Each structure stands twice: as structure tokens, then as C-alpha cells.
Amino acid sequence: MGGTIAKLVQQGHRVHLVDMTNGEPTPHGSVEIRAKESAAAAKVLNVQRTLLGLKNREVVHDIPSRHKLAAVIRAHKVDWLFVPYPLDAHPDHVAITRIAEDARFDAKLTQTDIPGEPVYPKRIIYYFCTHLRMNFTPNFCIDISDTIDRKLEAMACYQSQFVGNSGHVPEMVKNIAAYFGSRIGTKFAEPFYTHETLGFGGLDQLI
């Protein structure tokens, strides 16, 4: 959802990225390399980011992880929470989504050891990020025709992750954005899903 992140920042929203793990180990990366890449991508998107510090490849949906994320949600007084779509072949992604769903609830609790004041994000929205070869039917799409270049520039920061068989990923991501753009009549778009009903104050922003 890099194009949407760039658009939200452009529109004046405060966007904060949470890296649940440092992403390592990977075949061509290291903790130091990934930290530099993440910082470079954050600079491109003009956002801040927090490393939660869960263990890559071993993320577990448990109460300590939930409360750790809930503390971040409280610290930034989150209104909208974007998390990975819940169907995935990657166990970490599935666990992270469950952690985020429960952390949203945990963040509003009183009489708890979680640091900060209670807050309850109004929306939890799922972005399309899955290792499964599946079709995805979104509730809505965001037009990113004017931010696709920023999205691809941010992706290019992760050079260690697009080596060998993974070299096609940036082009694949661009093709997916073009497909969802065609669904709403724009050049590029990013898809989103939510279990909860969305409310509109008007139809002036519908494409």
C-alpha cells in the first residue's frame, strides 16, 4: 500500500509504519542492510517508523505481542489501522494480522499494564499482501496514479530483497496496481478490504 501511504501523507495525514520484525534472516540481507533500506524507504515516503522487535519467522499471536503493539497504537493515538489481508501462506503474516486485530481491542482497555492512555482505532483495514495465488475482491480501491512512482521508488530501496528469483517482484507489483486501476477506471490503484461497514459523508470523492 505504498502508493496509498504516499497519498495519505500528501493529503496531510500523519502516517506511522510499524515493522513487526527486522525481516532477517534472508538470503541476501542482514540486520544492518535491512535497517538502512527501511530508513531509506521511510525517507522516500516521508514517514516515521517503529521496529516492534518480534522474531522474524517465529511470530506468535500471544498476549505480550498484542500488548506491545497496543502500546504503539496508544502512543500514536491511531485512528485507522492497516494490516495484512488475513489469508496468507506466510505464518508470520497471519499471526501479525491476528496480533493487530486484538491489539486494537487491547489498546482501549483500562486498568491494564499497557503504557499510555486508552484509544480505540475507528477502522481496521486490510491491504492486499499474500503469498497465495488467489484472487482478491476488495471493498474499495484507492487511486494511486499520482503516487505510483513514489511507491516504486520506495520499493527500490529494498535492493537486497529483489535478487535472483525475486527480481521480478517490483514489476509484478506494478502490474497488480495497473489491474486494480483498471477496475475503477484509473491507471493505477491499490485494493483494500474491511469487515466493517464504511460510512460516507457524501459522494464527492467517488471515482
DSSP characters over 26-54: -TT--HHHHHHHHHHHHHHHT-EEEE--P
Separation of alpha carbons 15 and 44, rounded Å = 13
Q: CA triplet 2, 167, 93: central angle to 5 degrees?
A: 50
Q: What is the dihedral of CA 49, 55, 56, 60, to 10 degrees?
A: -100
Q: Which residues share a beta bridge with 84?
A: 127
The whole-angstrom separation of Cα 157 and Cα 6 is 15
CA distance 61 to 58: 10
Count Cα atoms within 13 angstroms, Cβ side, for 73: 31
- Residue 20's SS3 state is coil
Q: Which three cell numbers stand for residue 92?
A: 508470520
Q: Looking at the domain 2-192, which fold is it?
A: Rossmann fold (3.40.50)
Query: What per-residue confidence (pLDDT) applies to 50?
Result: 97
Domain ranges of the chain: 2-192
Q: What SS3 state is found at 157?
A: coil
Instruction: Write down the pLDDT at residue 78.
Output: 98
Q: What is the mean pLDDT of each run of 10 residues along the chain (207 residues)?
A: 98 98 96 98 98 97 98 98 95 97 98 97 94 90 98 97 90 96 98 94 89
